[in-house]
Structure 1
Amino acid sequence: MTRPRLAVVGNPENRRVTMFLDAAATRGLPTPRVLSWYEVITAGGARFGADEVVRLDSPGENAAVDALLRGPGAPTRIADGPRWYAALVGATATLRGGRLLTDPGELGVLFDKRLCHERLVNDGVPVPFSPTSGAGAPAPACWGDVRELARSSGLRRFFVKPAHGSSAAGVVAVETASGGRVQARSSVELAADGVHNSLRVRRVTGEAEVGALIDALAGECLHIEAWLPKPTAGGRAADLRVVVVAGRATHAVLRTSTHPMTNLHLGGSRGDLAAAMAAFDSGGFGWERALSVAERAAAAFPRTLCVGVDLLPAADWRGAAVGEVNAFGDLLPGLTGLPGRADGLNTYEAQLSALDEWTDSAAA
């Protein structure tokens, strides 16, 4: 095994970076060179040696970096997503040299839900239907637009998401019924100084209230997609985060929740993965086939070493679709790999283990 010269662009104090450094130490690799996003952005770029292998990590959870990308304001605010997106994509374009483990062009697609959805559809990956998929799709500018797009598409239950958001920030799960009744669930909070993301998912009822929520988010380039029924595990809604490394699913977490967003930081919890595997198998779809759906989604981004795929099992476990593909979806502390795929390795160790073969194939 060769000993690559590793570098990482991230927020040095963040556990994503420190866990990657720990993984390198565990595998006996030299300590990676760390460049902060703050340094890269303020310096107008960074240069790497031809022999450096460069990991790009999340710019999140750092107020100074967020202010550079999004502009000043409270870290909890949901605002200026298009500015954040353009600044992040622009920053990755200033990186020179080295072999990047996340392709900047693919990063731009991964952080635009409309483009990501379109790419998955074009590659034959099953996804929830969306009337806003693709760069040329209609961009709803208000609740009235959202309501009409959903109605004309036959959607009575749907998600409204900021196109450039992550971690369910700004996501609204909407349900409509006969007679014009509308309700929604979201962690979004409206305040005098704007729209904020909280850690508590609340129910909002009534056309006026839901409309006000959507209108407040309308500047974020909204994406609409069907809300697919989820199976239950222990009486809770369930889906999976599957980490795919070098084209192979290596880690999986069953996420369960009492509300539509299963993100662990919003009160979701890790469920019984073995039970989910058995449910796929007993339903006839098969666990390995479910993993292959996640791998097909990752294959749409062949120049990116690792992605986290949100896999949506059918309500009867007899199928699976892909909700989202996450560029920085590998933060799963305490989780070791799937048997026969990444035995005993955490997500960072699995990536380092796959590095030699992947960099050779990527260079071919």
Structure 2
Amino acid sequence: MTASASCDPAVPLLFAVVGNPDNRRVQLFADAVREEGLPEPRIVAWLDVLRGDAEFHAGELVRVDSPGEDAEVARLLHGADGPVDMYRVEGTRRWYQGFTTAVEKLEHAIDTAGAVRLFTAREVATAFDKQATHALLAEAGVPVPPVAATDGSESAFIKIRHGSSASGVVALTVRGPRRRAVTSAEMVRTEAGIELYNSLRVRTYLRDPDIDDLLGVLALDGLHAEQWVRKLSMAGRECDLRVVTVGGRATHAVVRTSTSPMTNLHLGGQRGDLARFRALVGDERWQAVLDLAESAAACFPGVHCLGIDVLPGADGLDRIGEVNAYGDLLPNLMGLPGTPGEGVDTYGAQVRSLIGRYAP
């Protein structure tokens, strides 16, 4: 049963959240549920899901959150016999296969129990596949950067096909015979071969052998590359936007700025001044940015909340860079005026939307 199902408005909404109990997203969503005076949400641990011990109840609304950074959950999703190094970049293809299989089983278990799910397994799987997402958006007429070569022969943003949080992303610049690769991946050469580690420090590789080895290791998990789009700048810093949609509506937006090609906040990016950005682009283009995010969300109608990255081009054109199934972690960010998120954070907007849908 998907989020289009109906509930008896006389019965208080009951939530179940699939996630790790100490995950911040889970905690913030639970806070939002309590603030609306609703019963305490039931937490279903990912570990129980993967061990086949999870249960769901008829009528409860089920939100599935990120598996997070639990070591045992990661081991099970990778299908590994021993511990998984949580800092390694490699292995995303195996993780994706384990994760999508688990989400499909979750979907079946929720439907069998007569519960209401706020996702579809197929759309979550697509959101975690950059190549599939790009193709879906392009087919729907949603502007995206053109596809580029993954072999390092042209300037491009090269991404692991199933990566997240900028893990393994390479911003490659090609100028004649010279190449420059900017990435958060730290490359370590060992006797056993090359190992890549996620790092909070963005680093630059200039030597061709290093760049070729970097791309060669990343390619083992599959790559997706897009032409480098020069973005708008604010105070000398490139910027993009994370727009959160709830029930298909754009409710929250944050400007991210950086001196490096990656604007992710955990990699040194900073929250920019949204009012300044709006003044820079003007009211008409700002509304077009929100419309663009909603057009991307419309391609994922079965996922209640999405984090959508909008690339405001210096050429005046805006494009979608990413669609994230778990992109709502923007603490202390209140929603846009006139939207369901006004006056509340991203989790409050989700709960408010669900109350409006199921308990009018």
Normalising to structure 2: TM-score of the pair?
A: 0.90
Matched, 1:301 2:297: no
Partners of 2:301 and 2:271 lie apart in 1 by 29
Specify the alignment match of 1:143 in structure 2.
none
Q: What residue in structure 2 maps to residue 82 of structure 1?
A: 93
Cα distance in 2, alignment partners of residues 321 and 287 from structure 1: 13
Deviation of residue 109 (structure 1)? 0.3
Q: Distance in 2 between matches of 1:235 and 1:325?
A: 26
**Alignment-derived partner of residue 135 in structure 1:** none
Q: Are 2:148 and 2:156, in contact at CA under 8 Å, matched by a contact in 1?
A: no
Equivalent position of 2:6 in the other structure:
none
Contact 1:160/1:172 (8 A) holds in 2: yes
Contact 1:313 1:321 survives alignment (8 Å): yes
Counterpart-to-counterpart distance in 2, 1:162 and 1:244 = 24
Cα distance in structure 1, aligned partners of 2:94 and 2:146: 27
- Find the residue that maps to 2:220 and give its secondary structure: helix
1:99 aligns with: 116
1:122 corresponding residue in structure 2: 139
Number of residues paired by the alignment? 337
Q: Distance in 2 between matches of 1:89 and 1:64?
A: 17
Distance in 2 between residues matched to 1:131 and 1:275, nearest whole Å = 32
Deviation sequence 1:184-240 (CA, Å, 0-9, x none): 100101123721110000111032221111112111111111110011112111000
1:107, 1:88 → 2: CA distance? 10
After superposition, residues 259-278 of structure 1 pair within 5 angstroms as 259-278=260-279
SS in 2 for 1:325: strand
Counterpart of 2:307, as a letter, is: G
Displacement of 1:50 in angstroms is 2.6
- Alpha-carbon distance in structure 1 between the residues aligned to 2:330 and 2:250: 14
In 2, are the aligned partners of 1:280 and 1:290 still within 8 Å (CA)? no
**1:73 and 2:84 aligned:** yes
Measured on the aligned residues, the alpha-carbon RMSD in Å equals 1.8
CA shift for structure 1 position 280: 1.9
* Distance in 2, Cα, partners of 1:251 & 1:264: 16
Equivalent residue for 2:33, pick from 24, 28, 35: 24
Question: Is the 1:336–1:343 contact (alpha carbons within 8 Å) kept by the matching residues of 2?
Answer: yes
Distance 1:94 1:182 in 2: 44
CA offsets per residue over residues 284-307 of structure 1, 9 Å max, x none? x52111100000001100011000
The CA deviation at 1:101 is 1.0
CA contact 1:290–1:319 (8 Å) conserved in 2: no
Q: Any stretches of 5+ residues in structure 1 without a counterpart?
A: 133-139, 141-145
Q: Distance in 2 between matches of 1:246 and 1:357?
A: 11
Aligned AA (1:302): P
Q: Distance in 1 between matches of 2:355 and 2:142?
A: 28
Task: Kindly indicate whether the alpha-carbon contact (under 8 Å) linking 2:200 and 2:267 is maintained by their aligned counterparts in 1.
Answer: yes
Does the Cα contact within 8 Å between 2:172 and 2:182 map onto a contact in 1? yes
TM value normalised by structure 1: 0.89
1:17 partner SS: helix
* Amino acid in the other structure paired with 1:323: G
Distance 1:105 1:249 in 2: 22
